[in-house]
């Protein structure tokens, strides 16, 4: 039996096509993996920047905290002026003035304490949000890695199948060959 040049050519094209598909698929998958890595690094940098900005901020230096302290100090100063004015008019004792000053100092301390608690709560919140972002990034990376792995396996399997069929077809053609192209065995 003679080898059909057309059949041998088709088998060769299938084999080469499978090889080209494999190379192209892996090249494209590699590009995609690089993009994923760039995105991962960008997300990680953003997460670290967010964490550092929110966790290490000095809450006492924020406008909100400074305004709260300023309002309390102003309120206490006005109350102190009013108390001293009353003391002059009514003849109040120094003990009353000292008691009022003690209460005012307690109010200022309580405000500072509340601000410190708020600062600690904000640190905890930033830490928790950072942990959630890190866990989500890990989950996303794992899912992307699994998808790439499955894509590689599918591509390799399909390409190997095409190459195998091409090689099998060529081997079958060659096994029936009698040494002449295009001539049939008698």
Q: Tell me the helix, strand and coil percentages in the chain, rounded to 5.
A: 90, 0, 10
Instruction: Write out the chain's pLDDT in tens, 186 residues.
Output: 455 666 667 777 777 777 777 777 777 777 777 787 887 788 888 878 877 877 777 777 778 888 888 888 888 788 778 777 777 777 767 777 788 888 888 888 888 888 888 888 888 888 888 888 888 888 887 788 778 777 776 777 777 677 777 767 766 666 665 555 555 554
pLDDT tens per residue across span 2-23: 556 666 677 777 777 777 777 7
Q: How far is CA 145 from CA 25, 46, 177, in A?
A: 16, 21, 47
């Amino acid at each position: 039996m003679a080898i059909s040049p057309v059949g041998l050519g088709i088998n060769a094209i299938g084999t080469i096509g499978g090889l080209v598909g494999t190379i192209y698929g892996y090249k494209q998958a590699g590009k995609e993996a690089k993009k994923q890595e760039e995105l991962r690094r960008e997300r990680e940098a953003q997460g670290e920047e967010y964490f550092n900005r929110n966790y290490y901020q000095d809450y006492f230096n924020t406008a909100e905290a400074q305004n709260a302290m300023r309002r309390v100090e102003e309120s206490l100063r006005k109350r102190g002026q009013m108390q001293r004015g009353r003391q002059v008019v009514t003849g109040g004792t120094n003990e009353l003035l000292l008691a009022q000053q003690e209460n005012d100092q307690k109010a200022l301390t309580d405000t500072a304490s509340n601000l410190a608690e708020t600062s600690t709560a904000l640190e905890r919140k930033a830490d928790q949000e950072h942990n959630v972002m890190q866990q989500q990034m890990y989950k996303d990376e794992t899912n992307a890695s699994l998808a790439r792995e499955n894509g590689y396996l599918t591509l390799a399997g399909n390409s190997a199948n095409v190459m195998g069929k091409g090689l099998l077809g060529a081997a079958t053609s060659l096994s029936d060959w009698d040494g002449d192209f295009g001539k049939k065995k008698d």
